[in-house]
Structure 1
Amino acid sequence: SANQVICKLCHLPGERDGAEMEVQLLADAERLFPFPLEDLALDFQALGPSRVQPGCLEVMVAACRQSALASLATVVEEAGLELAAVEVDNIALSRMLPLGCMEGSALLRLETRSVTLYGWQPGKAFLRVELPQDELRASGQLPEHLQALFAEAYLPARLWVASSALIDPGWLQGLSEQLELPCRQLPGLAGLEQVDGSMLLAGALSVGGWQP
């Protein structure tokens, strides 16, 4: 699950190729991640020129334990499938946002047993916070909890909402007013039916499978 994965935004000299960046990241791994090197699985992607360090590249780095991947591979093999890739949910779900709307957006994913907030802010590591679902539903304090999180991290330009249940437009309008930012139901992608919160990640992974 995504809470077993750590994503960090790093800045590396721009003249380095992929192999050199990997060597540098592995050398810094003990400082960046709380996993022993012998159990470390690491991947990275260069995002473009750094916004804060001239001459450097912004590189998103994801790491987890090899042992966690091994157990996942076992499950996949027992299902008669072959594991080709593992993707962090933040990255997969960003494909479900309207075109050009990823940077500065946040996504609130409401499911039967979980409430998760995601965020994509330029120059920052991706945000992923699991909220206390039972407590929030019982108390009705979701807006207050979101306000506190945005105060600690950053205020997004907009909040998209996806739910496994029907979203009441009045509730969504009230959330917009309380948070003082646009809150909209996440629209479906062109050519796809509306994907509800329970199938959102599956849809995101499917979209990724279509891309070359």
Structure 2
Amino acid sequence: MKFDFFNESTPPLIGVDISTSAVKMVELSSTGKGSYRLEAYSIAAIPKDAIVDGNISGLEQVSDAVKLAWKLLGSREKRTALALPSAAVITKKVMMSADLREEDMEVQVEAEANQYIPFPLEEVNIDFQVIGTAANSPDEVEVLIAAARKEKIEDRVAAAEDAGLKVIVMDVDTYATEAAYTLVANQIPNKGKDQTIMIIDIGAAMMHINVLHDNVSIYVREQAFGGTQLTQEIQRRFGLSAEEAEIAKRKGGLPESYEHEVLQPFMQSLSTEVARALQFFTSSTQYNRVDHLVLAGGCAAIPAIDIMVQDRTQVNTIVANPFQSMSLATKVKQQQAAIDAPALLIACGLAMRGVN
């Protein structure tokens, strides 16, 4: 019944982000005083359509990708933290009496969950966390409840376990993003305090938007747009297979016309999508401005994409690099790590769960 979305966990853990197009792993160690060292990371491609809308449809293919990523990581550690897509998790904040014992809280959480979860409770894993004292009532505490269907969790656990790994923590991708953002906040004036920051994680198929005000998440949304559109255009224009197009996109070697005819229009489209997300946020919430944009995901590695987005939106834009102030293990190549960093935000946030 209960599942550890919020378990503080025991170190060390490998952060494993299973996204639509790749398995990404990050291993961190502590250097004391809340600082980290990047021990290793890896990225292994997942075949097309093995994951659709966040659901694993090709378990064997995903498991093979997990196995390869772990091999590339070169770690002995087998304990992992995984994340569910936020769309697969129902969350709700409720108020409870501050003097309730944990077991009484569990009973109340179950009663609350019964009201708002559209599935039978036996099909669901539930966890809860006390956030703190309620703002306007010192006798009450604010409690965050998270629930997900067991099958969604079991699929991801199976993919990891088939690859020989052990799942200790199941997180939610938005929480993992927020954890890694605490490292990125150093790139923002005053570490984002009293400001509104929009994190835009551009994946293969989806743009995940998470807005924080004063470093607390206030808004989460998804937009259908991603790097697959660029891959498909490369395929169409240059007559390549999906796999060849994906490799060419990352490694280069395309005709000269690529930059002007394919990449530039894609960057324009991406900037327009970000501007739309911004407009939608300011027009549908009480917040009438965003102070900084943080780009993450594979598309954030496109050279000068931050400049184009900033020109289009007139909002200060940075590319997320959670490793910027970390020390790196000798086997980690600094230049490559900086390029890959924006795509590793979730995996990094998950790895942080294993470093106390």
TM class by shorter-chain length?
A: 0.7 to 0.9
Q: Which amino acid aligns with 1:63?
A: A
- Matches of 1:39 and 1:126, distance apart in 2: 29
Tell me the equivalent position of 1:208: 353
Judge conservation of contact 2:209–2:220 (CA < 8 Å) in 1. yes
* The one of 200, 212, 219 aligned to 1:108: 200
Judge conservation of contact 2:89–2:172 (CA < 8 Å) in 1. yes
Residues 121 and 169 (structure 1 numbering): CA distance in 2 closer, same or farther, change over 3 Å?
Answer: closer
- How many positions carry a matched residue from both structures? 207
Residues 138 and 95 (structure 1 numbering): CA distance in 2 closer, same or farther, change over 3 Å?
Answer: closer
Judge conservation of contact 2:206–2:225 (CA < 8 Å) in 1. yes
Q: Which runs of 5+ in 2 are unaligned?
A: 1-84, 230-267, 328-336
Q: Which amino acid aligns with 1:147?
A: Q
- CA deviation map 1:17-44 (0-9, x unaligned): 3222211110111213222111121111
Residues 76 and 25 (structure 1 numbering): CA distance in 2 closer, same or farther, change over 3 Å?
Answer: same
Tell me the equivalent position of 1:20: 104
SS state at 1:108 partner: strand
Judge conservation of contact 2:210–2:217 (CA < 8 Å) in 1. no
Residues 171 and 162 (structure 1 numbering): CA distance in 2 closer, same or farther, change over 3 Å?
Answer: same
Tell me the equivalent position of 1:66: 150
Deviates more, 1:73-82 or 1:186-195: 186-195
Judge conservation of contact 1:102–1:120 (CA < 8 Å) in 2. no
SS state at 2:165 partner: coil
Identify, as 1 or 2, the structure richer in strand: 2
- Matches of 2:221 and 2:124, distance apart in 1: 23
- Matches of 2:217 and 2:326, distance apart in 1: 31
Tell me the equivalent position of 1:184: 318
Matched, 1:129 2:221: yes
Q: Which amino acid aligns with 1:86?
A: M
Matches within 5 A, 1:45-124: 45-97=129-181, 98=185, 101=192, 104-121=196-213
SS state at 1:149 partner: helix
Tell me the equivalent position of 2:86: 2
**TM-score with structure 1 setting the length:** 0.81
Q: Which amino acid aligns with 1:142?
A: V
Residues 55 and 35 (structure 1 numbering): CA distance in 2 closer, same or farther, change over 3 Å?
Answer: same
- Structure 1 runs of 4+ aligned residues shifted over 6 Å read none
- Matches of 1:174 and 1:18, distance apart in 2: 51
Q: Which of structures 1 and 2 has the larger relative contact order (alpha carbons within 8 angstroms, sep 6+)?
A: 2
- Matches of 1:71 and 1:102, distance apart in 2: 38
**TM-score with structure 2 setting the length:** 0.51
- CA deviation map 1:29-86 (0-9, x unaligned): 1213222111121111111111244421111211001222222222222111112110
Q: Which runs of 5+ in 1 are unaligned?
A: none
Residues 185 and 71 (structure 1 numbering): CA distance in 2 closer, same or farther, change over 3 Å?
Answer: closer
Tell me the equivalent position of 2:95: 11
- Matches of 1:208 and 1:23, distance apart in 2: 27
- Tell which structure's C-alpha radius of gyration is larger: 2
- Matches of 1:120 and 1:92, distance apart in 2: 14
The two structures, once aligned, show a CA RMSD in angstroms of: 3.0
Residues 73 and 57 (structure 1 numbering): CA distance in 2 closer, same or farther, change over 3 Å?
Answer: same
- Matches of 1:110 and 1:6, distance apart in 2: 22
| Aligned-pair identity (%) | 21
SS state at 1:84 partner: strand
* The one of 288, 294, 306 aligned to 1:160: 294
Tell me the equivalent position of 1:197: 342
